[in-house]
């Protein structure tokens, strides 16, 4: 599972950007505890953020709190969990000294340190707080429009069934794998998914696989059924995670057999071949489970 990510990139806040505050109180998406925005400006920004949520499935929040004296990272997490309508999204938090970008759920896959800095640079590119916030929302909308979350998270879009954090797979390979996994998943009503990463973030492979499956809502249907193959390129580890109806279809012995068949290509770093063969075998296992 990709954990919610706190980005340590922190720089001094450019206070010259900030306008003279007026009285206002933060609302759902725009948490202006300093009163920089008028009521009309805040309502307009909240409307835009609501549209982003409806169109992409991601919550985009802004927190302004010059009075904060504690951990801005902790405050960002707390405010996001309190106010965000969805578990997937980001919050740009700013106090008198620094900024912090917190990415939650699926957003953590697309917002890394470099993206965090780009978000900040977009925000400070305008002159008034309203213009800065508006530009930030526009940028976030463009970013998350490429990774829309389906209305029913129990049945993920095919693009999320194969995730490559390493950039090893080229575009045509990633498309072929996601389409193949999508077809098999739809045919059997059980998700077949894969993730290729370069680090386990300090977790063991089995825990990472289980948590990635759960965090990204990869399960299919009311029983959240599915199987996920995790391959960690950097740690040279791999694991399978099964949920719901997939547990009966992929027994312990079956999983051992499946991994054994993949070990040759795993050892050679032939990752496209690994996930392609895995999907074929998963299809065969599911057919056998259905026919007895």
What 8-state DSSP symbol labels residue 242?
E
Query: Is residue 58 in a domain?
Result: yes
Per residue in 64-97, pLDDT (tens digit) is 999 999 999 999 999 999 999 888 899 999 999 9
For residues 172 and 153, give the distance between their C-alpha atoms in angstroms, rounded to a whole number. Answer: 25
**Domain boundary residue, one of 87, 116, 145:** 145
Of the candidates 13, 119, 9, 2, the one whose C-alpha atom is nearest the C-alpha of residue 73 is 9
Q: What's the pLDDT score for residue 149?
A: 56
Identify the domain containing residue 46 by its residue range: 5-145
Query: For residue range 155-167, what is the model confidence (pLDDT) as tens digits?
Result: 334 347 899 888 8
Give me the mean pLDDT over the 15-37 stretch.
61
pLDDT (0 to 100) of residue 130: 96
Average pLDDT over every residue of 235-242: 90
Say if pTM beats, i.e. exceeds, 0.85. no
Q: What's the pLDDT score for residue 101?
A: 96
Do 108 and 167 fall within a single domain?
A: no
Mean pLDDT, all residues of the chain: 84
Please indicate, yes or no, whether residues 118 and 43 belong to a single structural domain of this protein.
Answer: yes
Are 120 and 233 in a shared domain? no
Does one domain contain both 42 and 21? yes
151 inside domain: no
Cα torsion angle, 19, 8, 89, 69, sign = negative
**d(C-alpha 183, C-alpha 201), whole Å:** 31
- Looking at the structure of the chain, the number of domains it has is 2
DSSP element (H, E) containing 15: none
Residues 236 and 182 in one domain: yes
Let me know whether 132 and 175 are in one domain.
no
Please tell me whether residues 121 and 191 are part of one structural domain: no
Considering only 29-33, 34-38, 102-106, 198-202, which range has the smallest mean pLDDT?
198-202
Q: Which tokens go with 31?
A: 């948490």
Which is more confident, 252 or 26? 252
Question: Any bridge partners for residue 63, and if so which?
Answer: 31, 93
Count of CB atoms within 10 A of residue 126's CB?
Answer: 15
pLDDT at residue 98, as a whole number: 93
> For residue 16, is pLDDT > 70?
no
Domain boundary among 111, 145, 179: 145
Does residue 132 sit within a domain? yes
**Residues 162 and 134 placed together within one structural domain of the fold:** no
For residues 114 and 175, membership in a common domain is answered with no
Q: Does residue 199 sit in the same domain as residue 286?
A: yes
Same domain, 180 and 139: no
- Per-residue model confidence as pLDDT tens digits over 190-223: 999 999 998 887 788 998 898 888 888 888 888 8
Nearest residue to 157 (alpha-carbon basis) of 216, 86, 91: 216
Residue 270, domain member (yes or no): yes
Please give the structure tokens belonging to residue 154. 């129990």
The rounded distance, in Å, linking the Cα atoms of 181 and 21 is: 52
In a domain, 152, yes or no: no
CB 273 within 8 Å of CB 227: no
Single out the residue in 115, 145, 175 at which a domain terminates: 145
In a domain, 150, yes or no: no
pLDDT surpassing 90 at residue 278: yes
Do 130 and 208 fall into the same domain? no
Cβ atoms 163, 195 nearer than 8 A? yes
Q: Burial code of 257-275, b = ≥16 C-beta within 10 A, e = fewer?
A: ebeeebeebbeeeebbebb
Q: Is residue 277 part of a domain?
A: yes
Confidence category of residue 249, pLDDT binned at 50, 70, 90: very high
- Integer-rounded Cα Rg, in Å, for the chain is 21
H or E segment to which residue 203 belongs: none
Q: Is the pLDDT assigned to residue 36 strictly greater than 90?
A: yes
Q: Is 159 exposed, middle or buried (0-12, 13-18, 19+ CB in 10 A)?
A: middle
Looking at residue 18, which CATH number applies to its domain? 3.10.310.50
């Amino acid at each position: 599972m990709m954990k919610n990510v706190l980005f340590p990139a922190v720089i001094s806040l450019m206070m010259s950007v900030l306008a003279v505050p007026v009285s206002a109180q933060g609302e759902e998406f725009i948490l202006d505890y300093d009163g920089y925005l008028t009521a009309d400006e805040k309502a307009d920004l909240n409307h835009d953020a609501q549209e982003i949520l409806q169109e992409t499935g991601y919550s985009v929040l802004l927190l302004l709190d010059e009075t904060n004296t504690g951990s801005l990272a902790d405050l960002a997490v707390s405010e996001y969990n309190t106010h965000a309508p969805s578990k997937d999204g980001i919050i740009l938090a700013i106090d008198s000294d620094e900024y912090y970008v917190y990415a939650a759920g699926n957003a953590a896959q697309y917002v890394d340190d470099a993206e965090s800095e780009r978000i900040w640079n977009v925000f400070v590119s305008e002159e008034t707080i309203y213009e800065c916030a508006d530009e930030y929302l526009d940028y976030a909308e463009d970013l998350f429009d490429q990774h829309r979350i389906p209305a029913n998270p129990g049945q993920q879009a095919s693009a999320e069934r194969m995730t490559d954090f390493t950039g090893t797979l080229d575009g045509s390979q990633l498309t072929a794998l996601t389409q193949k996994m999508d077809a098999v998943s739809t045919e059997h009503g059980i998700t077949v998914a894969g993730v290729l990463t370069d680090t386990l973030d300090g977790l063991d492979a089995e825990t990472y696989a289980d948590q990635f499956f759960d965090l990204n809502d990869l399960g299919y249907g009311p029983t959240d059924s599915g199987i996920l193959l995790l391959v960690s390129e950097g740690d040279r580890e791999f694991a399978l995670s099964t949920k719901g109806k997939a547990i009966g279809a992929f027994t312990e012995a079956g999983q051992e057999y499946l991994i054994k068949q993949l070990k040759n290509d795993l050892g050679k770093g032939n990752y496209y071949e690994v996930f392609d063969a895995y999907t074929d075998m998963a299809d065969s296992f599911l057919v056998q489970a259905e026919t007895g």
